[in-house]
Amino acid sequence: MMKQISAKSQSVIGVWLLFVVGICILLFTACNNTSDFTVKGVVSGADGQTMYLENVGISNVELIDSVKLTAAGKFKFTHKRPDFPDFYRLRLNNQKINFSIDSVETITIAADAGTFATSYSVEGSENCKAIKAITLAQLDANQAIGKLRKEYEDKHIADTTYRARIIETAEAYKEVARKYIYSAPMSTAAYYALFQQIDGLLFFDLYDRNDVKAYGAVATSYDHFYPGSPRSKHLYNLTLQSMKVLRAQRPVNLDDVKTTEISFLDIELPNLKGEVVKLSSVAEGKPVIINFTAYQAEWSPALNMALGEIYTKYHGQGLDIYQVSLDSDAHFWKNAASNLPWVAVRDPQSVYSQIAGLYNVKQLPAIFILDRKGNLVKRVDDVKNLEADVKAVL
């Protein structure tokens, strides 16, 4: 008959068991929380070519490692795991496969050199699968917009048709992106979807009242789940700035300006070359027409024709024009403004332009006149009276 274990012995055994279990848990955790991640796989048809692993940061891309592929095409990269979810890419020639690293340890990718960026398969991460779907939607939109731009430049489609189809194409991408953004706003796929671009322009407009909701959803989730992440801080600041602009209600009332008592409010915006041009630099010692406009509007060609006649007639006497586009489509603006002889700039905030708000622009077109001393002397309500008003300041 076995002897009964004393209470003291039971206590000692209990402590020992807890210690052993604790050690096991620590060992298990250590084995399953490696400080590195691995991306491996096979790239066929790339014998002798070099593939690169790069970290895609907020504002720069950093080369991490490279491998020269053999006929077998096998590769393996191991790198230190980031402190917070981050983005990486494999680059082969000019083709790229984007992926993210969060809690996963190993990602496996299979691709062909010829269709490296579009027909690859990825295993080990649902977020990386989602990033592939988002990338394909973005590429489809880019190709469609490029085709539309060519048709427009060749005069095969009208201005209004071009604009409508551009908007439809961008919306098609955003419809795909929103599924990932709103279903899991804390995911790397949601963040990735938010920042896809075409020619340096975001599909999701920070100054669009509907699009900013997507920024808000991801910013709130990232701030909650990854409060110390640089991406969280960057996204939070972008969203906060956007909301401030949308909520800003500080217009300066210039409706009844008829005297030389009020000097103009300076404007600094990029021209067609991306160079920032100040209104003050244009207006130095000469009269200027300030025009807030939208090239996509039906009345725009007639307005520019009228401005062109006045510019040609009086430019020799010092007259200049500073034209501010509020078009949402930068490509349309660039095409339409490319042959204009005067200063053409664009405000990316579009209809939510703070500058237009400060000038109390309630409808387009809006026209103001500066005299040679830099005084805002007239708000022109009818373009038919513009020439007479210009003569008055000459």
Tally: H helices and E strands in the chain: 11, 17
The confidence score (pLDDT) of residue 354 equals 75
The confidence score (pLDDT) of residue 8 equals 41
The DSSP annotation for 206-244 comes to TT-TTHHHHHHHHHHHHHHH-TT-HHHHHHHHHHHHHHH
**CB of 327 within 8 A of CB of 351?**
no
The confidence score (pLDDT) of residue 202 equals 83
In sequence order, the 6+-apart residues with CB closer than 8 A to the CB of 393 are: 287, 369, 370, 371, 372, 377, 378
pLDDT in tens, the chain (394 residues): 333 444 444 443 333 433 333 333 333 333 444 699 999 999 999 999 999 999 999 888 999 999 999 999 999 999 999 999 999 999 999 899 999 999 888 999 999 999 999 999 999 999 999 999 999 999 999 999 989 988 988 889 887 888 889 889 999 999 999 999 999 999 999 999 999 987 667 889 877 888 989 999 999 999 999 999 999 999 998 888 777 766 654 444 555 544 434 356 789 999 999 999 999 999 988 999 999 999 988 889 999 999 999 999 999 999 999 999 998 888 889 988 988 999 999 998 886 677 887 787 878 899 999 998 888 888 888 888 899 999 988 8
Q: What type of residue sits at position 225?
A: F
**CB of 173 within 8 A of CB of 138?**
yes
Distances (CA, A) of 186 to 57, 68, 85: 18, 36, 10
The confidence score (pLDDT) of residue 208 equals 80
The confidence score (pLDDT) of residue 264 equals 66
Q: What type of residue sits at position 142?
A: N
Read off the pTM. 0.61
The confidence score (pLDDT) of residue 12 equals 39
The confidence score (pLDDT) of residue 248 equals 55
Cα distance between residue 264 and residue 345, in whole Å: 17
What the block records as the tokens of 364 is: 């387009």
